[in-house]
Structure 1
Amino acid sequence: MGCDGGTIPRRDELVRVKKKPEAKDKDSELIFQWRYCAITQQILQSPIVMCGLGKLYNKISLIESLLNQERMPESARHIKGLKDIKDLNLTPNPAYKDDDKTHGESDSRTAPYICPVIGLEMSGKFRFVALWTCGCVFSERALKEIDTKTCHKCQKPFTNDDVVILNGNEEDLVIMKQRMELRQQKHKKKREKNRVVVDVSATITAPKDEVDKNTPSTSAATVKNGASKVALISGTKRPGSLKEATHDAKKMKSTYSVAKDPKVTDVYKSIFTTHESEKQQNRAHWVTYNPFYN
């Protein structure tokens, strides 16, 4: 039957069977997620950053991809700028040696970073989290065992929305996306609030008699006072009352005279030649040089 030599055919050689899909090597996948950049597939090197979804990147490679959007993969399109990433504060593993080599590859028996609280290795076998407020990284077990709202490493406060699960599964990615959107909304509201505070501090309500009659009527909150600009430039304190603001506004006019100002002392007026004691010109001025008297 064509089987010379005593060979016995197997069933899969005679009958066509459906091939099983190739299974992924879980160990290799974990090593790739935790030791290689998600954009360039290069070994992670300090400084290491994360995005809002918990993916790990080399900061230099990510900045280069932001400058050249063509190199940015589709999985990282949610990163629009440096505000969308966070520098990680990792704890080195004292048992890890960078020069360990096995078969031409880095040693996978030890991880380069560990949890600073309970010492678990950040190799992918244990779930790790990072805080968006400070960038500190520790295991999820430590977060659950030590129930507190301050960072275990730097003692900075945080909320549940600031917890980012590193290299999470599909369910974790949905939660991380929701938390990322909440943080962006909070940041946007905070930025708008700070902008309003700056605008209010830079403007002041001007009195009605100081507004030019020829100019159209404007909102009192948007009328800028010239005295506030002078105070900001010279470093002096801003007027604390409306009367002081009115007095400072009068000083900005060309018709203002120090000699006619009732709030200025005689000692200050004597500095200028417009003072009555200087009009007689019987002595040299003690501040400005008067060529008539040597």
Structure 2
Amino acid sequence: MYAEKKPDKIDLHEQRLSKWLNCSLSNEPLKPPCVIDRLGNMFNKETLVEALIGKKLPKEFGYIKGLKDMINIQLEVVPSEGLGNARFQCPVSGLEFNGKYKFFSLKNCGHVLSAKALKEVKSSACLVCYKEFEECDKIVINGDEEEVVVLRERMEEDRLKVKDKKRKVKHGIVDVKGGDKVAGKIKGNGKVENVKGVSNGGSKRFKAGDMVPANATKDVYASLFTSSQKNKFKETYSCRSLPLGRN
């Protein structure tokens, strides 16, 4: 009786390296220009673009609709490596890009940095190009299940905001200070005509008599300001009267 051949064991180290060093679509080694999607998957840009044009993108990447759904990333090649089958590292901490450490891509500039570098050098600007970024601009690369869920929720929120913005432009809805919304026709120069929902009432004019200090008579306090009453004095042949409130 023959012994059954046991299936080859999966090399977890090689599997991890493949996820971090290869294109998520073709499984070919990452080679600049590279991109990342909103969920933290990396691709060779040319491969992804060709799949989009040929409509051959797998269902698992169906949320990628076009160039707007991919972000160009800047990978730092390890100095001793060439571009072919290259390995990458954090340009600040020097940690190798191999799955052992957490890395983020900054959406605004595309630089890929280790979580350690971002934690140790706390800054609101990229540590490489100094471009400002916010917490929501950080995309974790090859994140765990919970991290991907957060990224997916953020992606859906961003898409809803874009749709809402397009709807407002289409219907001429403009947000004004204070949270109110007004509707009107938007001209080519950016001005809004026939605006509804905004009151153009003038501001209330201040009167000195409206702000009388304690233990003061309204008329006496108001008389300190020449704007509070009309000048009741008239010029005579022999003298000129001075209005109250002026020396």
The TM-score by the shorter chain falls in which range? 0.5 to 0.7
Assess if the C-alpha contact under 8 Å between 1:130 and 1:138 holds in 2: yes
Assess if the C-alpha contact under 8 Å between 1:66 and 1:72 holds in 2: yes
1:26–1:98 CA distance, 2 compared to 1 (3 A)? same
Assess if the C-alpha contact under 8 Å between 1:49 and 1:85 holds in 2: yes
Assess if the C-alpha contact under 8 Å between 1:91 and 1:114 holds in 2: yes
SS of 2:71 mapped into structure 1: strand
Asked if 1:50 corresponds to 2:25, the answer is no
- Residue of structure 1 in register with 2:143 after alignment: 168
- Residue of structure 2 in register with 1:154 after alignment: 129
Greater Rg, structure 1 or structure 2?
1
> 18, 25, 34: which one pairs with 1:32?
18
* Separation of aligned partners in 1, 2:67 and 2:9: 37
CA drift of 1:181 comes to 2.2
Q: Write the deviation string for residues 89-127 of structure 1: whole angstroms up to 9, x where unpaired.
A: 22222122357xxxxxx5xxxx62211111111122211
Assess if the C-alpha contact under 8 Å between 1:49 and 1:86 holds in 2: yes
> 59, 62, 69: which one pairs with 1:74?
59
Matches within 5 A, 1:210-225: 220=194
CA drift of 1:189 comes to 4.9
- Residue of structure 1 in register with 2:219 after alignment: none
Equivalent pairs: percent with the same residue? 34
RMSD: 3.0
Q: Which has the higher strand share?
A: 2
Q: Which has the higher helix share?
A: 1
Assess if the C-alpha contact under 8 Å between 1:47 and 1:59 holds in 2: yes
* Separation of aligned partners in 2, 1:175 and 1:46: 27
- Residue of structure 2 in register with 1:246 after alignment: none
Residue segments in structure 1 that go unaligned for 5+ positions in a row? 1-8, 100-105, 206-219, 223-294
Assess if the C-alpha contact under 8 Å between 2:31 and 2:83 holds in 1: no
Q: Write the deviation string for residues 209-246 of structure 1: whole angstroms up to 9, x where unpaired.
A: xxxxxxxxxxx359xxxxxxxxxxxxxxxxxxxxxxxx
* Separation of aligned partners in 2, 1:181 and 1:113: 30
1:22–1:64 CA distance, 2 compared to 1 (3 A)? same
SS of 1:80 mapped into structure 2: coil
1:187–1:137 CA distance, 2 compared to 1 (3 A)? farther
* Separation of aligned partners in 1, 2:6 and 2:142: 28
Q: Partner letter of residue 27 of structure 1?
A: H
